[in-house]
Amino acid sequence: MATEVELNDTKEIRANLAVVSQQIEELELQYDRTAGSVRLLAVSKTKPIEAIKAAYDVGQRAFGENYVQEAVEKHHALAHLDDLEWHFIGPIQSNKSRLIAESMDWVHSVDREKIARRLSEQRPDNMPPLNVCIQINISGEESKAGVSLSELKDMVALVSSLPNLQLRGLMAIPAPQDNFAAQCLVYAPLHQAFIELSKSDSMMDTLSIGMSGDLPAAIASCSTMVRVGTAIFGARDYSAKA
């Protein structure tokens, strides 16, 4: 039987999810976006199964995970919910690519030829192609993963050639900026690159940008998928096993 604390946590998650969803709807209207054009990816890393179930019960279906082993364990535990959509959004080590290829529906963090090839080779034949976003290092940070925009054309060609991957779009995590205008300025070249790519490929429909700190700028910059965790589930437990 659930404890009072667990019940209160569940109510809070559901209330938070309603607030975030309403915020997205209001920002779509404010920045002349089509209603429903921005999907919410609930970032559930370090959060327990019960938290995901609470969000699922009020209609959330797409969940983002950063840590491979944790993601796989959750995927197996909730396999009976066959309409869940699992997105891997963290860095990928080559020795763990098989686990990702065998369990995830989406990968947002493809930024190397070796990883792209391994994901395609290791994707089971009985599963649909793995949806992929290429990660862009939009701020040019040495400490951050991602290809540069100058390298994007070659990476697009590579991913598009691999039989068990489906290129869906671009993802970026820019360096923090102080204000809305600065955030939009950073996103501008990424937005333009996405527009150009989507003109020639109808499956290129996903611009995965925007978190709690820059949600308005991301939606103004034509994000189609925002990644929100703490505002839904509360503070993360960084002691969780990676």
Whole-number Å distance between alpha carbons of 115 and 105: 16
Is 183 inside any structural domain?
Answer: yes
Whether the per-residue pLDDT at 241 is higher than 80: the answer is: no
User: Which CATH number is 186's domain given?
Assistant: 3.20.20.10
Whether the per-residue pLDDT at 136 is higher than 60: the answer is: yes
**pTM score, whole prediction:** 0.93
Whether the per-residue pLDDT at 184 is higher than 90: the answer is: yes
Is 194 inside any structural domain?
Answer: yes
Range of the domain at 69: 58-228
Greater confidence, 165 or 142?
Answer: 165
Is 44 inside any structural domain?
Answer: no
pLDDT at 4: 42
Is 180 inside any structural domain?
Answer: yes
Whether the per-residue pLDDT at 3 is higher than 50: the answer is: no
Question: Mean of the pLDDT values across residues 207-222?
Answer: 96
pLDDT band at 143 (very low <50, low <70, confident <90, very high): confident
**What DSSP assignment string belongs to 66-134?**
--HHHHHHHHHHTTT-TT-EEEE-S---GGGHHHHHHH-SEEEEE--HHHHHHHHHHS-TTSPPEEEEE
Is 29 inside any structural domain?
Answer: no
- The structural domain count of the chain equals 1
